[in-house]
Every structure is written in C-alpha cells, then in structure tokens.
Structure 1
Amino acid sequence: MGDPGERCGMDMGLLKVFLAVAEEGSISKAAQSLNYVQSNVTARIQQLEQELKTPLFYRHSRGITLTSAGQTFMEYTVRILKLLDEAKQAVLDSPVPKGSITVGSDTTAAVRLPAILSAYRVCYPDVEVHLQVGRAGELIDSVLQHTVHGAFLDGPVEHPEIVQELLIHERIGLVIPDTMDYQGIRSVHDKTLLMLNSECLYRSRLEKWLAEEGGRLGKVMEFGTMEGLLGCVKAGIGYAVLPLSYFTRMNVTEGIRIYPFPEKYAEVPTVFIRRRDLYMTSAFREFIEELKAGLPEAVSGADMTADTAAEL
C-alpha cells in the first residue's frame, strides 16, 4: 500500500484537459477550446502521463493520436465525467422537470416522435429536449457512453448494461414504385433492396418471406435519409421495406405502392432503451410517461421477460 498521505493529482480539471486533447487531436486546438495557454495544456498532459506511468498519446507531425492505453483511459474518462454530471443532476433535481434531455432514434422510428415531443414541451416548457437521429449501433454506443438518455431502436437489445423501457410493435410493408408490375413477393426476387440500415430486422423479415416463396434477396443499397431512399424507389431503382406508420402519418404515397407483409412477418418490435444505471431525473421520468401516453400500444420494459425478448 502507498503512503496514505500521498495525494493523487488526478482531478476533474485534468481529466477535462485530457479529453479535450483526445477529441481535438491537437494540443493547440485543445488549448483554444479550453481557453488555456498551450504550455499549460502540455504540462497537464505530461503530468497525467507521469502519474499513470504510461504514454497516452503518440506525437507526430500531424498532431497527436491516442495510444492503446490512451484509448482505454479516454473511455473511462468519458464515463467518469458523465457520472459526475449525473451526480450534479441528482443533487440539483427537483420535482418540477427542468434542464435538458437527449433522445436518440433511428430514422424510421423518428416519425413517431414529433407529436410526443410537442406534447411534452407544452407540459414542461423548462425542459430542453434534443433529438439525435442515427443508426442502431451508433445509438447503442451513445446510450452506453451517456451521450443520450435513451433511444428508439428496432428489435430487442441484449446488453447487460441496458434495459428496454418501452416496446412498440411496428407493422411493416413492401414499398415499390408504382411502375412495377407487382405479382406477389416474387416480383422483387433479385431486385435491389433500398434500406436505411442493412442490418435491421426489416431485412431479416423480408428474407424469410422471400425464402418461403422460393425467392432470394438481390443487391442491397443503403441510404442516409428517408427522402433519398423514397426518391430512388419512385425512380424505379429498387424497392424498400418500411413501417406502415411512416406513410399513415406523413401521407407520402405519390409514385409508390405499399403492400403489407403477411401477418407472421408483419410485426417488428421497436424498443426504447436506456442505461441500467442511469439516474432518472424528473424530466426524463416524465418523458417516459409521455411516451406511454402517446404510444397506446407501448408496454413497460419490466414486462419483457428474457423469453419474450428472445421470441421477438
């Protein structure tokens, strides 16, 4: 054991300096963002490396990059600073929701959120709500890294640090250009599938339906936006699989036709996830309640057993 009188110099300020340098990839840029003199930032990084007895950065002509030890330390630094922020939120939290929350969503689930966010803002005008739209993997990482409070995703997520707060059953449909002669699922055999996320459950449902009818999946093209995807469907470049709720809510039908999936393949679960250890501020708790009110088909994550999630 070390000397009990020995004092650790690793304070929150030092961690913030390290994180700024890691994110900027440059001592000078980090100094600018922190409003510090460059020599001070350099000295703090040297202090940290001496204390940890390992280099955290590679120095080169283009700037600096993290070593493997630095990458590991950065992951813990992000978690520590987010936990500190949560601790402050817990201390300052009040029964009346205030502050801010950040919610993630994939592009297809985002269609459900405007009405919910609008109703929530009317009830709690002192809460600032941010929406982050992204792919499933990115959103799961954001939840785990505390950069979003929770996120909508397709399908159950199996991770020891994540709980599924809500479950929504989306019904999906085949979206084809209105110029296509549709004679059943074999009509898209070997044609190009256009998707926002090629790894989502929509694709696996389609593959099962195709296999049942003796067809097979053709090429797959990914898109970053719903507008771009639908534009290419209308142009006859390919077809898509999307939730029916998007079309009923957005009233987008020009140039396309929509055919619901067979009942046994039609439902895809959308879950709302959060970290298991996340401190639930009053603002976030009320957001969850607004979700339950705005999504009548939603059920509590507590009702989802392991067997239920596996079946989905």
Structure 2
Amino acid sequence: MDIGLLKVFQAAAEEGSISKAAQRLNYVQSNVTARIQQLEQELKTPLFYRHSRGITLTSAGQTLMEYTLKIFNLLEEAAQAVLDSPVPKGSITIGSDTTAAVRLPAILSAYRGCYPDVEVHLQIGRNNDLIDAVLQYTVNGAFVDGPVEHPEIIQELVINEKLGLIVPDTIDYQGLQSVHDKTLLILNANCIYRTRLEEWLGDEGCRLGKVMEFGTMEGLLGCVKAGIGYAVLPVSYFNRMNVTEGIRCYPFPERYAEVPTVFIRRRDLYITSAFREFIEELKMRLPEAVCGADIPAAEPG
C-alpha cells in the first residue's frame, strides 16, 4: 500500500471534503478523487460515503484511519529513534486542561533550564479533546481528569485533587443550601467536578439548578465574581490563583472532595530522552503524585 495514497486518504478524512483536501495538499481535485478511488479499488471496499455536505468515513474507512495514524506515527517514531540521543533535544508537546495548567509554569521553567535544546509546546484543551490528541499521537502526554480507562493509554502519574465551591462574596455561604438553586458555572458540562457535586447534592436532598458552560477560565471566574453563579474547582487551583477579592473557596466534604488528575500517554508511544526527562521532572516537582506504570527504557543514541 502506497504511503502517498494514505496521505491523501488522511487529508480527505480529516477535512471531510475532497476540495478541502486538495487545497491542503496543493493538488488538483481530480487527483485527490483518483487517488482515493485507487485506494478503494486496491482494498476492494468503499472508504467514504459521498453526500451533499462532503464525505464521511465508512466503517472500513474508520478502521483504515486508525491504522493510518499508527503507520505515520511509526514512521515518525523511526526517525526519532534514529536521531534520539542520551542528551535531550528536539521537541515535545504536552496537553493540559485549564486547571492542571496552573501547575505547569514552574515545571516547564525548570525543565527548560536543564534542557535548553528541547522545544516544549503546550496545548490547552478539554478532557475528551486531550484524550483524543493522545490517542492520535498529536501530543506526547496530557494532564486530564481521571481515571482514564482505555487499553491504549497508560496513566503515568495520579494527583488526587480536593474540590471546592467557588462562591461570590455576594452569597452569604452557610453550606450547600446556600448555592443549590444558583447557576453552576463550568468549563465542561460533563466533567467529573459536576458528577461529584451532583452526588453531594443528591445526598443532601437537593437538585442541581441551571448550568452555564464557558469556553475560558477567565470568563468563568469573571462571572462568579459578578455574582452570576458559582463554580467547582480544585482547591489547589484556587490557592495558586491567589485571589483575595470577590470570591471565596469552601472545600467539599471529604466524602465528595477527591478527584484524580492523571498524566497520560499512549502505551505504544516511543519515549524519547526529551520526553523521559520531562516525566522525571514531573515526578520531582509533583511530590504528591502517585506513579503509574513504569516507563520503558529509551535506546541510547
């Protein structure tokens, strides 16, 4: 199977359009169409559904896409293995949700001080998007809400965070009853923070009120300060923000407080010396973290 055909197939699948894939690859549209047809003929199965809105993968196409990602990752891994050396260099990409990202500046600064030849990229996103990025090899590892149960993912570190209610000063907080009918402000409507809150509410005979979802932490906290509602965040995140005006943090009861943040990577990811040393830096800078699976040794360059 020709690698060139797979590159065209991947572009078409990701763009959902023959014309957009052609623009991305700088090909004429008929060339993209012909190459996809060639691949379908070779595999003796249709890879795309064609419709008025563009193209979508068939089940066979979805299977091929999974293998295509693995093939291109193996090619990249082969290049990394050849070029890797005991002295970290090159680049790594780390994913993080917004709350975990507050821990990273000190870690990244220390790491760059030790390994200035490594270029570190940080990708901030939501939980599911970061897990997908790990699975698709677009980030080396990511901090996400855990646990993550997936056969192709390893959890390297687990940090047990404690949740708190983030409440505006305008609310006379006297316990959960003070906020149960207020609007919950949240970054991800389906996150584990909401689940823990609903468990607490249910045991107290209360129900969750309205939920307002935000795209940024700045917008969320600004609306909490404005008295629009309340939020649920790790206490450690609130403490690192060093907020002294407008909002207060009240810890959850111990029974509902603990949520894990995990650092994940693909099980089959090649561990370069740069990424290995980054994980070691995490272990040193996050003493409260519980180590997960052992990291396989990198081959010397």
What's the TM-score, normalizing by structure 2?
A: 0.89
How far apart are the structure 1 equivalents of 2:26 and 2:46? 24
* Among 111, 115, 122, the residue aligned to 2:113: 122
Partner in structure 2 of residue 226 of structure 1: 217
- Provide the rounded CA distance (Å) in 2 between the counterparts of 1:95 and 1:256: 48
Other-structure match for 1:288: 279
Aligned residue type for 1:187: S
- In structure 2, the residue matched to 1:278 is 269
Quote the offset at 1:62 in angstroms.
5.4
Identity %: 84
The answer to whether structure 1 residue 83 and structure 2 residue 83 are counterparts is no
Aligned to 2:94: 103
Provide closer, same or farther for how the CA distance between residues 38 and 184 of structure 1 changes in structure 2, counting only shifts above 3 A: closer
TM-score normalised by the chain length of structure 1: 0.86
Instruction: Pick the aligned partner of 2:240 from 249, 263, 281.
Output: 249
Partner of 1:3: none
What whole-Å deviation, never above 9, does each CA across 1:7-30 have from its counterpart, x for those lacking one? xxx121221122122223444443
The answer for the alignment partner of 1:168 in structure 2 is 159
Distance 2:240 2:206 in 1: 31
- The residue type equivalent to 1:204 in the other structure is T
What is the rounded CA distance, in whole Å, between the counterparts of 1:241 and 1:235 in structure 2? 16
The one-letter amino acid of 1:112's match is R
- The residue identity in structure 1 corresponding to 2:92 is I
Q: Decide which of 222, 227, 233 is 1:236's aligned counterpart.
A: 227
1:166-189 superposed Cα distances (whole Å, 9 cap, x missing partner): 011212211111011111111112
Q: Does residue 210 of structure 1 match 2:214?
A: no
Gaps of 5+ in 1: 1-9, 304-312
Contact 1:17 1:30 in 2 (8 A): yes
User: Which residue of the partner structure matches residue 191 of structure 1?
Assistant: 182
The answer on whether the counterparts of 1:247 and 1:253 sit within 8 Å (CA) in structure 2 is no
Map Cα deviations across residues 97-145 of structure 1 (whole Å, 9 max, x no partner).
1121111111111111121112111211221222222222221122112
Residue 60 of structure 1, CA deviation: 5.0
Question: Aligned-pair distance for 1:190?
Answer: 2.2
Of 174-183 and 78-87, the range deviating more from structure 2: 78-87
- Of stretches 183-192 and 198-207 in structure 1, the one that deviates more from structure 2 is 198-207
User: Partners in 2 of 1:113 and 1:71 — Cα distance?
Assistant: 35
Q: 1:122 to 1:11 in 2, by over 3 A?
A: same
Partners in 1 of 2:293 and 2:8 — Cα distance? 40
Alignment-derived partner of residue 7 in structure 2: 16
Structure 1 residues 212, 60: CA separation in 2 closer, same or farther (over 3 Å shift)? closer
CA shift in 2, pair 1:241/1:82, >3 Å: same
Question: Does 2:42 align with 1:74?
Answer: no
> Residue 298 of structure 2 corresponds to which residue in structure 1?
none
Distance 1:64 1:211 in 2: 45
Map of 1:181 onto structure 2: 172
Query: Partners of 2:81 and 2:12 in 1: how far apart?
Result: 29
Number of equivalences: 294
Q: 1:32 to 1:203 in 2, by over 3 A?
A: closer
Match of 2:32 among 36, 41, 47: 41
Contact 1:173 1:260 in 2 (8 A): yes
Quick one: distance in 2 between partners of 1:116 and 1:194?
29
What's the secondary structure of 1:165's corresponding residue? strand
**One of 140, 145, 150 as aligned partner of 2:136:** 145
CA distance in 2, matches of 1:139, 1:213: 34
